[in-house]
Amino acid sequence: MRLDAKIPAGPLAQKWDRHRFELKLVNPANKRKYDIIVVGTGLAGASASASLAELGYNVKTFCIHDSPRRAHSIAAQGGINAAKNYPNDGDSIWRLFYDTVKGGDFRAREANVYRLAQVSNLIIDQCVAQGVPFAREYGGLLANRSFGGAQLSRTFYARGQTGQQLLLGAYSALMRQVATGKVRMFPRREMLDLVLINGQARGIVARNLVSGEIERHEGHAVVLCTGGYGNVYYLSTNAKACNVTATFRAYKHGACFGNPCFTQIHPTCIPVHGTYQSKLTLMSESLRNDGRVWVPKTPGDKRKPSQIPEAERDYFLERKYPSFGNLVPRDVASRNAKEQCDQDKGVGDTGLAVYLDFADAIQRDSRAVIEKKYGNLFQMYEKITGEDPYETPMMIYPAVHYTMGGLWVDYNLMSTIDGLFVLGEANFSDHGANRLGASALMQGLADGYFVIPYTIGGYLAGSRFTEVSTDHSAFGDSVKQVQERVAKLLAARGRRTVDDFHRELGLVMWDHCGMARTNDGLKTARSRIQALRAEFWENVRVPGAEHDFNQSLEKAGRVADFLEFAELMILDALARQESCGGHFNEAYQTEENEAKRDDAHFCHAAAWEFTGDGKDPVLNKEPLVFENVHLTQRSYK
């Protein structure tokens, strides 16, 4: 397959303007003739649905929850970046662009990232106008704070609930369009297949999660905003319903999957404490503004933190990276925590944790100031662990948090299937091999508010469509396949639960395709996943009925897809014989144990093409061309 990223010509700063001018337009009266299907209602899906409906398109929006407001964007804590330069500390669109490309270890497309930085300021304007209660200074103007991977303050925030407030802003815009009738909302639906007619994405097949009915929905384009696949690891900071099914089904119809092995392990999460554990909880990266990360200098030191004197503590991030200190990017912070624990300096019952200590900040700024900044996070920590972080240091450990990989898209955010657009975390586009903090919210909203409204018009105006209805045989074939799969899951009647399989898959992935990877480990993981997948279809037990509200059946379908998808991640990790960002192959590291890229051979985006069940997928490569930034070894020292 030939990948055409459709990057506009011309100087970087003018590409987006020029492209918007060159895109064909759909005139206002014709917009109502087009139906657009949006799957997912997180930041990307809600903002896209509302913005497209405002333009006059007929939008059908689907979500797996009872309400579109529940999407997992809601859990983002820390903030959203923008190049407003309000603090007058030297920020600019160029600097935000540069930091993001560098933070992603030079594995993202320049043109996309530059556009993201350009529209970042518009997002803040839009959200403020919607009534998002961002933090403000005494003078009434917007406040900023700093985040990992940047040496200035460009992050806007609403306490520790920024994702919630931004999502509720987008959700309220969506609800307004539901009231006008321009958006038809389909909650409690799970997309189980994509329908292609004449090579174009023309609809979806979805399960009604209350009645179990398999429904058909047609449209002129399909926009997937279905989030990331971090739950392939079972334990992650993702919400329980997050899954890969929608994007994986699209992959099976010919949408290439980009960089699936690029996953982000977030350094500041509450450590694992038991086998029954169902998920991990993130402690916002913003805590690293005031918290100091340390471990005891002596391996095996089991004293309480209060009994370890200052001289016997190793503030390893401050020591190794004096200019960024505790604010190094996430991949660097995570790997360093793992390194300390591997040297038996880890703390807590399991030895898999490091301290995040606020004692100095409380002494410097007072408890009240710290409480105002992080009160809800401290409270959450105390609820989960039963320990008071004002009195004793928090314990943190890295956990799977975000997936930079996703469906490959061109500059228009269209996948390798005509009419299938992919937004937000579900696509692979902007974060390269590592995402900087406060950039996920920026990307989800950029895609939904300020990119798709233009690019989808270009596609619709430039394409020919035949009249189709849901009676078309392509819908019939798809429904039949979906029903057969559901029947097969229910018929296995084996001896292991879905969660049991999922947990085992998660452990294999964490051990071999997590923070550090080796070729042997990846190969072992591949054969274990194949064996586990074979066992799953023989031995899984899915109780309940097809035509009913059946949560076990929902989970089973998702885990079945994870069991196939995991192998794709392994293949991608094996194919990329270098280290970059979150992908760390132990064979490729600098003398100081940093990720060592191989730009001569791997300066590309990997785009995996499905070739049939049981066959290896084909690897297509999109070369990444850097005309504006110079590729360097990242340094945060």
Residues catalogued as catalytic: 330
Question: What is the 3 state secondary structure string of 209-261?
Answer: CCCCCEEEEECCEEEECCCCCHHHHCCCCCCCCCCCHHHHHHHHCCCCEECCC
CA distance 123 to 113: 15
Q: What is the DSSP string of 394-441?
A: EEEEEEEEEE--EE---TTSB-SSBTEEE-GGGB--SSTTSPPTT-HH
Q: Give residue for tokens 């999660």.
A: 209
Work out whether 24 is an interface residue with another protein (CB under 8 A): no
Sort 39 into a burial class: Cβ within 10 Å, 0-12 / 13-18 / 19+: buried
Question: Which listed range, 46-54, 101-109, 335-343, 629-637, lies at the site for another protein (CB under 8 A)?
Answer: 46-54
Work out whether 551 is an interface residue with another protein (CB under 8 A): yes
Binding test (CB under 8 A) with another protein, winner from 294, 449, 562, 636: 449
Work out whether 84 is an interface residue with another protein (CB under 8 A): yes
Q: How many residues bind another protein (CB under 8 A)?
A: 82
Q: For the segment 526-545, give every residue that binds another protein (CB under 8 A).
A: 541, 543-544
Binding test (CB under 8 A) with another protein, winner from 273, 313, 488, 596: 273
Question: Which listed range, 164-172, 326-334, 523-531, 566-574, lies at the site for another protein (CB under 8 A)?
Answer: 164-172
CA distance 38 to 219: 10
Residue 580: which residues within 8 A CB-CB, separation 6 or more?
A: 105, 106, 107, 432, 433, 434, 595, 597, 602
Instruction: Fill in the amino acid letter for 21.
Output: F
Nearest CB to another protein, comparing residues 139 and 623: 139
Nearest CB to another protein, comparing residues 388 and 592: 388
Q: What is the DSSP string of 294-337?
A: EEESSTT--S-GGGS-GGGEE-HHHHH-TTTGGGS-HHHHHHHH
Q: For the segment 322-361, give every residue that binds another protein (CB under 8 A).
A: 349
8 A C-beta contact, residue 513 and residue 522: yes
Closest to 266 measured CA to CA, from 385, 380, 132, 434: 434
Binding test (CB under 8 A) with another protein, winner from 1, 13, 25, 210: 210
Binding test (CB under 8 A) with another protein, winner from 279, 313, 485, 596: 279
Sort 231 into a burial class: Cβ within 10 Å, 0-12 / 13-18 / 19+: buried
Give the torsion sign (CA, 561, 566, 568, 569): positive
SS3 at position 172: helix
Residue 479: which residues within 8 A CB-CB, separation 6 or more?
A: 205, 214, 216
Q: How far is the CB of 45 from another protein (least distance, A)?
A: 14
Nearest CB to another protein, comparing residues 245 and 336: 245
SS3 at position 444: helix
Closest to 513 measured CA to CA, from 567, 591, 590: 567
Q: For the segment 48-77, give every residue that binds another protein (CB under 8 A).
A: 50-51, 54, 65-70, 72, 74-75
Q: For the segment 478-497, give every residue that binds another protein (CB under 8 A).
A: 495, 497
Closest to 635 measured CA to CA, from 323, 267, 330, 266: 323
Q: How far is the CB of 350 from another protein (least distance, A)?
A: 11
Binding test (CB under 8 A) with another protein, winner from 549, 589, 619, 629: 549
Q: How far is the CB of 277 from another protein (least distance, A)?
A: 7
Nearest CB to another protein, comparing residues 140 and 309: 140
Nearest CB to another protein, comparing residues 172 and 518: 172
Work out whether 500 is an interface residue with another protein (CB under 8 A): yes
CA distance 204 to 475: 8
Q: How far is the CB of 474 from another protein (least distance, A)?
A: 31
Q: How far is the CB of 169 from another protein (least distance, A)?
A: 9
Binding test (CB under 8 A) with another protein, winner from 78, 103, 149, 187: 187
Rg of the chain's alpha carbons, rounded to an integer? 24
Nearest CB to another protein, comparing residues 539 and 589: 539
Contact letters for another protein, residues 116-145 (x by CB under 8 A):
-----xx-xxxxxxxx-xxxxxxxxxx---
Q: How far is the CB of 188 from another protein (least distance, A)?
A: 9
Q: How far is the CB of 284 from another protein (least distance, A)?
A: 11
Binding test (CB under 8 A) with another protein, winner from 277, 363, 366, 463: 277
Helix (H) / strand (E) element for 151: namely none
Q: How far is the CB of 449 from another protein (least distance, A)?
A: 5
CA distance 402 to 346: 24
Nearest CB to another protein, comparing residues 306 and 551: 551
Binding test (CB under 8 A) with another protein, winner from 168, 224, 256, 308: 168
Question: Which listed range, 5-13, 255-263, 271-279, 625-633, lies at the site for another protein (CB under 8 A)?
Answer: 271-279
Nearest CB to another protein, comparing residues 47 and 415: 47
Q: For the segment 230-269, give every residue that binds another protein (CB under 8 A).
A: 239-241
CA distance 275 to 269: 17
Q: For the segment 573-632, give every residue that binds another protein (CB under 8 A).
A: none
Question: Which listed range, 9-17, 29-37, 45-53, 353-361, lies at the site for another protein (CB under 8 A)?
Answer: 45-53
Work out whether 20 is an interface residue with another protein (CB under 8 A): no
Q: Give the CA dihedral 442, 448, 451, 454, nearest 10 degrees.
A: -160
Work out whether 276 is an interface residue with another protein (CB under 8 A): yes
Nearest CB to another protein, comparing residues 142 and 359: 142
